[in-house]
Amino acid sequence: MNNDEKITEKKIMELLAQVNDPEVPVLSVIDLGIVREVKLNGEETEIVITPTYSGCPAMDVIQINIRKVLLEKGFKNVKITNTLSPAWTTDWMSGHAKEKLKAFGIAPPTIKQQVCHTELFHDGEAIQCPRCNSYNTRMISRFGSTACKALYQCNDCREPFDYFKCH
């Protein structure tokens, strides 16, 4: 940290954009929308984060990595707080993040309203294949390799893929 440089929330957010989600390494904690607030309380820098899912096992690693990045940049007094309310939603994911997900081979979450469909045995959402862009896809399992994803397969190009669930 250059002492001449004024520390602002914006600068800290830029630093946090270097901290990636260990389970979806193409996304940063800023892309995911889990950093809710940055507070400068005198000497102390407080980062308020919220979990994606209650049992997300990546949260501990994410906290360690946020602390590490800030300590490396010369911040001394780093406090990380967890908040649950308002509950995280995929609507907080940036458009840029959704493009990165797709390029990585994970279908990005659709917009929130579409999940309100509650009829059983129906997907309720048309999910686009990240490989060939076809909407002719089917759900294999509502639960995927991590809590935030579901398993899909494309009926046209046959590619199996992860879908980052709308939440």
Count CB atoms within 10 A of the CB of residue 124: 13
C-beta of 130: minimal distance to Zn ion in Å? 8
Residue 124 main-chain phi, psi, to 5 deg: 80, -10
Q: How far is CA 136 from the centre of its chain?
A: 26
Stretch that binds Zn ion, among 45-53, 83-91, 119-127, 152-160 (CB under 5 A): 152-160
- With respect to Zn ion, which residue has the nearer C-beta, 135 or 143? 135
Q: Is 4 helix (H, G, I), strand (E, B) or coil?
A: coil
Asked if residue 80 binds Zn ion (CB under 5 A), the reply is no
Give the whole-angstrom CA distance, residue 124 versus residue 164.
15
**Residue 55 binds: one of another protein, Zn ion, none (C-beta under 5 to 8 A by kind):** another protein
C-beta of 1: minimal distance to Zn ion in Å? 47
**Residue 141 binds: one of Zn ion, another protein, none (C-beta under 5 to 8 A by kind):** another protein
Taking a C-beta distance cutoff of 8 angstroms, is the pair 115, 125 a contact? yes
Cis ω before 86 (30° cut-off from 0):
yes
Binding site for another protein (CB under 8 A): 51, 53-57, 83-88, 118, 120-121, 140-145, 147, 151, 167
- With respect to Zn ion, which residue has the nearer C-beta, 39 or 158? 158
